[in-house]
Amino acid sequence: AQKVTQAQTEISVVEKEDVTLDCVYETRDTTYYLFWYKQPPSGELVFLIRRNSFDEQNEISGRYSWNFQKSTSSFNFTITASQVVDSAVYFCALSGKTGANNLFFGTGTRLTVIP
Amino acid sequence: SQTIHQWPATLVQPVGSPLSLECTVEGTSNPNLYWYRQAAGRGLQLLFYSVGIGQISSEVPQNLSASRPQDRQFILSSKKLLLSDSGFYLCAWSSTGTSPQHFGDGTRLSIL
């Protein structure tokens, strides 16, 4: 069965601090995809990144970086030098290799960046 | 480029009234379409998805239904709303089952 666990329900950091959002997943598929989405207070979900299970290279995009480790089934998301605009709920999600209904979301982590 | 439109943005309805939320996608053909519900402070729950016109799959039993009358149009309906139907409804599209889903701005539905 597919499952995504985001153990951190809420995190608060002071502006300019670094913060890591944890994501642990379970799947029996050998090919799968992992995603992160951002949901700002306005409500829409914004796609941030997709990684496939064969690519464990870490990725950096500006202040955002992602650490994918198959050995621990984790796909953690780090924001460096956090800003108030980073305040949002962040969702990790998992998709298997087939099926249109195959995106499983974690319960989200609410990040508050305090100025 | 592809865009997704969802309306209305907010809706207040009495218990027992009907519901119709509409979602349209532009700039792509034969997308996969999805309806999600997000209760306050909770994660996303997949309600329906569709891989083509007239093809609807339901993920959870409820008094909601979905229809896809055209390739890029997805409608969420109810004949009689319940208090428990309150929430934030999001429509999304993707080109395949494993490609990223792109979401509309959502509809905040309050049932009185």
What does the angle CA B73 – CA B74 – CA B77 come to, to the nearest 5 degrees?
A: 135
Residue window 92-111, chain A: list those with CB within 8 Å of chain B.
Answer: 95-103, 105-108
Q: What is the pLDDT of residue B52?
A: 92
Question: What is chain B's pLDDT, residue by residue, as a tens digit (112 residues)?
Answer: 889 999 999 999 999 999 999 999 999 999 999 999 998 767 888 899 999 999 998 887 678 999 999 999 999 999 999 999 999 999 999 998 778 899 999 999 999 9
Residue A41 Cα distances to B11, B29, B39, B73, B92, angstroms:
18, 31, 14, 26, 18
Q: Are the CB atoms for A69 and A91 separated by under 8 Å?
A: no
**Type and span of the H or E element at B15:** none
From the list A35, A42, A101, which residue is nearest B46 (CB)? A101
The DSSP bridge pattern shows strands B44-52 and A109-114 to be: unpaired
Q: What is the pLDDT of residue A62?
A: 93
SS3 per residue for chain A: CCEEECCCCEEEEECCCCEEECCEEECCCCCCEEEEEEECCCCCCEEEEEEECCCCCCEEECCEEEEEEHHHCEEEEEECCCCHHHCEEEEEEEECCCCCCCEEECCCEEEEEEC
Q: What is the pLDDT of residue B35?
A: 94
Contact A42 B105 (CB under 8 A): yes
Which residues of chain A register pLDDT less than 70?
97-102
Contact A50 B100 (CB under 8 A): yes
User: For residue B73, which of B99, B102, B93 has the smallest C-alpha distance?
Assistant: B93
Omega before B8 within 30 of 0, i.e. cis: yes
Contact A91 B102 (CB under 8 A): no
User: For residue A108, which of A86, A90, A87 has the smallest C-alpha distance?
Assistant: A90
Q: What is the pLDDT of residue A80?
A: 97
SS3 (DSSP) at B22 = strand
Contact B43 A100 (CB under 8 A): no
Q: What is the pLDDT of residue A98?
A: 59
Q: What is the pLDDT of residue B106?
A: 94
Cα A48 to chain centroid distance, Å, stands at: 8
How far away is chain A from the Cα of B27, in angstroms, using its nearest Cα?
18
